[in-house]
Chain A
Amino acid sequence: MKLTLRVWRQSGPEDSGRLVEYPVEDVSPDMSFLELLDLLNERLIETGDEPVAFDHDCREGICGSCGVVINGRAHGPERTTTCQLHLRSFRDGDVLDVEPWRARGFPVVKDLVVDRSAFDRIIQAGGYVTVPTGSAPEAHATPVPKPDADLAFDNATCIGCGACVAACPNGSAMLFTSAKVTHLNALPQGGPERAQRVLDMVDTMDAEDFGGCTNTGECVASCPKGIPLASINTLNREFRKAARTRR
């Protein structure tokens, strides 16, 4: 099949950037979207052009490195990561606009690469259980009801790709933050720090230039791991409770 890519090219944070058109012929529907970019880059290198910079690593949908906006949708038309999106999802002759995540919290580094270190700082603010190595009790000392363990797991599957922020009209990081709060606060191990955790993580999220949440739900629609909107409710509930007792 043949596709026309209009790719965002931006040499660095200071550059204003622009869409550049590249027709790509002879592609197989079994290729992944990133393999399409590989092919484009291979051809650009052969003709003496600069290849397109894009983040990627595991290419099996779990590391969270990759992610571009395709025709206005984070990770493209399917609910998966860009690396797991295959060209069979498109039609021969399609024109695709390929852009980086666009959000104030994620400044562009180059082409399709953005800086998501703000996510790391949100986790550093409280997305952990304080348990120095060696101090853990026997694993079976505290049974965890299966529904709680399942809820924790469902939220812990967040890969930190940032699609939620890119999809949100406000550029909010609520879904990401709420997934970690819900994961840890659902478990007895996360109990002792539950109030401080949510307060500190929300403070950091606000300080990092992410927008506010207005419950539009675009984040959930683009999340490749299916983190539910209910997690944002959980965060709000945890936050209110914590703010009453700790502030």
Chain B
Amino acid sequence: MPDYTTGAPIADRKAPDGPIEDRWDTRRFGAKLVNPANRRRHRIIVVGTGLAGASAGATLAEQGYHVVQFCFQDSPRRAHSVAAQGGINAAKNYRNDGDSVYRLFYDTVKGGDFRSRESNVYRLAQVSTQIIDQAVAQGVPFAREYGGLLDTRSFGGVQVQRTFYARGQTGQQLLLGAYQALSRQIDAGGVEMHARTEMLDLVVAGGRARGIVARDLVTGEVRTHLADAVVLATGGYGNVFFLSTNAKGSNATAIWRAHKRGAYFANPCFTQIHPTCIPRSGEHQSKLTLMSESLRNDGRIWVPKQPRDERRPSEIPESERDYYLERRYPSFGNLVPRDIASRAAKNVCDAGYGVGPGGLGVYLDFADAIERLGRPAVEAKYGNLFEMYERITAENPYEVPMRIYPAIHYTMGGLWVDYDLQTTVPGLFAIGEANFSDHGANRLGASALMQGLADGYFVLPATLNDYLAGGGFEPLDTADAAVRSVETEVRERLERLLSVDGTRSVDSFHRELGHLLWEHCGMSRTAEGLHKALERIPELRAEFWRDVRVPGSGTELNQELEKAGRVADFFELAELLLLDALVRDESCGGHFREEHQSDGGEALRDDEHFSHVAAWEYGEQPVLHRETLTFDHVHPTQRSYT
């Protein structure tokens, strides 16, 4: 076991007691307010312009705060939320199918395998309905019925139809809604936008987060930006695996740097593997593409009953197909939660039933749906996804079943935050995928968009007031020693990366790191494999700092330098991820330790020892602080989707 120490337990002190339905109201009423006239005197830094960041920036500026916002892309409209496909959950119960705030809360806690906080999840379900109202008013073109009302569909892990969608481009449409709200504030002067600018470190002064050091990616200029509070909306760390459904630029540098400056990192081993991605086609593969979970509404997943069956799918008669999800989970069928669907796919492939190159794939078949609904109806629902699939694989999914395989998609872990979404560094907030709070050990489909927008539009703007109203902001100058030293460290690090002048590209190291993690800390994990990876990582990291080649200089657009900094941070984060996976000696949600499974191969939780959040403090040796989770409303049971 690598060295770590156990520190004092940690607790969320911001969630009020009392009936769970009233807690958010109670907190909002208890939170101090800032007089509208005083708001413009507060500068707030928001890093990231995805759903969480853009919605937060726009809302804070509407309230009158002076927002300074950053994104590494060339425009805030390109943040990776744009790629979310399937939909957004909300407890509107427009279908009259038995949905309610309580049911969305229940489904989310259960779906997360009882590793999330009840108070947070309940609040998420409560504000979900307001998100839909807000988006519709912004002109987000959700799918509608002929009567002009909103359409909904089902997603994994639930038995109601609560998912609102805009064809297969829901993330894009919601992001454009938030981006347009942000654009309005940029025009009005409430938001000072810095595109193509990347946060490289956090400035902590007097024990509080007071700014960031960022690099202008076009000129290379490194500059300190100061503020009264810093909000990180920088997404997850799935790209630590190299191949994932994340965008190429998605990275963990902002949250990792914040971690090194004192913010605890919670549950890093909770990573989500999405069951329906297009299998990789060769060594050249640079990223993986998701096929929306919504396809599981109408597509049926199967493999041949004979192992290593080489026949074309059309030649395999019905009686020789194994619809393994429908067989094993009759009541949820193809719509079991993601962790379960992914593991089931891995198991059938490991047992030799997989299809396509290397046997790493299962069929997702629409023949029945096309026969039942007709091709035009299927096209209307999933047209863009089918087109995307054909574009990538050169196979027509209207005629040949899709081949799919699981891939890294989302990270439930992230910076530890309290009910106010504040990290352990006062004045530093984390929202959206960057925090850990709402999804436990497994996120349900269509809940990421919900959480990102809940945090940005409704939660953070209410709780940030309370922090700012506390006042006591000492005047701070970029010339102050504490501030200058951070900037100096950033410059030195960039210089170091540029001066190694070795022989290997950044990508070659990133690939190797990703392969190692996928092998030993992917869909299933063992103590032995984790130990092996933990031994290898320091060697690989040393090799990186000895042999990486970063051409060019730091005073220009230098994409290799950008990548090098991100990969250097991934190396450090990977080690914590492996350690957390090793210490969490149970299976739960997306974290599957082979040592802990039932006879049927299902994840076996150990509530007696692991019903807690693992919050890691940075240090020579990582320090583990446990936050005990209590369940007063949804009682932990072995999850059953049969």
Write the residues of chain A forming the contact surface with B, with a CB cutoff of 8 angstroms.
11-12, 27-28, 30-32, 34-35, 38-39, 41-42, 45-46, 48-51, 53, 55-65, 80, 84, 86, 88, 109-110, 113, 115-117, 119-120, 123-125, 127-140, 142-146, 149-150, 152-153, 156-157, 159-160, 183-184, 187, 189-190
Contact of A30 among B59, B62, B281 (CB under 8 A): B281
Q: Using A38-B286, A125-B187 as known contacts, say yes or no to A133 and B80 having CB atoms under 8 A apart.
A: no
Given contacts A38-B286, A183-B139, 12 further A-B contacts (CB under 8 A): A50-B551, A53-B557, A57-B248, A58-B248, A60-B289, A61-B388, A62-B82, A63-B83, A80-B391, A133-B458, A133-B461, A189-B137
Query: A-B pairs with the 3 shortest C-beta distances?
Result: A143-B148, A128-B180, A136-B137
Which of B35-43, B100-108, B155-163, B502-510 lines the interface with chain A?
B502-510
Q: Using A45-B505, A183-B139, A187-B139 as known contacts, say yes or no to A57 and B73 having CB atoms under 8 A apart.
A: yes
Complex interface: chain B residues within 8 A of A34 (CB):
286
Tell me the complex Cα distance, A223–B233, Å: 31
| Beta-carbon contact of B138 and A129 below 8 Å | yes
Complex interface: chain A residues within 8 A of B82 (CB):
58, 62-63
Binding site of A, secondary structure by majority: helix, strand, loop or mixed?
loop
| Beta-carbon contact of B388 and A58 below 8 Å | no
| Beta-carbon contact of B74 and A116 below 8 Å | yes
Contact of B391 among A11, A86, A117 (CB under 8 A): A86
Q: Using A62-B83, A63-B83, A184-B139 as known contacts, say yes or no to A128 and B183 having CB atoms under 8 A apart.
A: yes
Tell me the complex Cα distance, A190–B140, Å: 10
Write the residues of chain B forming the contact surface with A, with a CB cutoff of 8 angstroms.
55, 58-59, 62, 73-78, 80, 82-83, 92, 94, 130, 132-150, 166-167, 169, 172-173, 176, 179-181, 183-184, 186-187, 195, 218, 247-249, 281-282, 284-287, 289-290, 388, 391-392, 394, 457-458, 461, 503, 505, 507-508, 549, 551-552, 556-557, 559-560
Q: Using A45-B560, A60-B289, A63-B83 as known contacts, say yes or no to A31 and B284 having CB atoms under 8 A apart.
A: yes
Contact of A133 among B147, B457, B549 (CB under 8 A): B457
| Beta-carbon contact of A42 and B507 below 8 Å | yes
Tell me the complex Cα distance, A61–B169, Å: 11
Complex interface: chain A residues within 8 A of B133 (CB):
136-139
User: How near does chain B come to A69, taking the closest CB pair, in angstroms?
Assistant: 17
User: How near does chain B come to A185, taking the closest CB pair, in angstroms?
Assistant: 9
Tell me the complex Cα distance, A120–B149, Å: 31
| Beta-carbon contact of B557 and A160 below 8 Å | no
Contact of B247 among A42, A57, A128 (CB under 8 A): A57
| Beta-carbon contact of A45 and B286 below 8 Å | no
Complex interface: chain B residues within 8 A of A183 (CB):
139, 141
| Beta-carbon contact of B136 and A189 below 8 Å | yes
| Beta-carbon contact of B388 and A51 below 8 Å | no
| Beta-carbon contact of B169 and A133 below 8 Å | no
User: How near does chain B come to A152, taking the closest CB pair, in angstroms?
Assistant: 4
Residue on A nearest B79 in the bound complex, by CB:
A63
User: How near does chain A come to B105, taking the closest CB pair, in angstroms?
Assistant: 20
User: How near does chain B come to A34, taking the closest CB pair, in angstroms?
Assistant: 7
Tell me the complex Cα distance, A137–B134, Å: 8
| Beta-carbon contact of B141 and A156 below 8 Å | yes
Q: Using A63-B247, A131-B138 as known contacts, say yes or no to A139 and B391 having CB atoms under 8 A apart.
A: no
| Beta-carbon contact of A110 and B145 below 8 Å | no
| Beta-carbon contact of B286 and A32 below 8 Å | yes
| Beta-carbon contact of B134 and A117 below 8 Å | no
> Considering residues B167, B184, B560, which has the most beta carbons from chain A within 10 angstroms of its beta carbon?
B184
| Beta-carbon contact of B80 and A58 below 8 Å | yes
Tell me the complex Cα distance, A143–B145, Å: 10
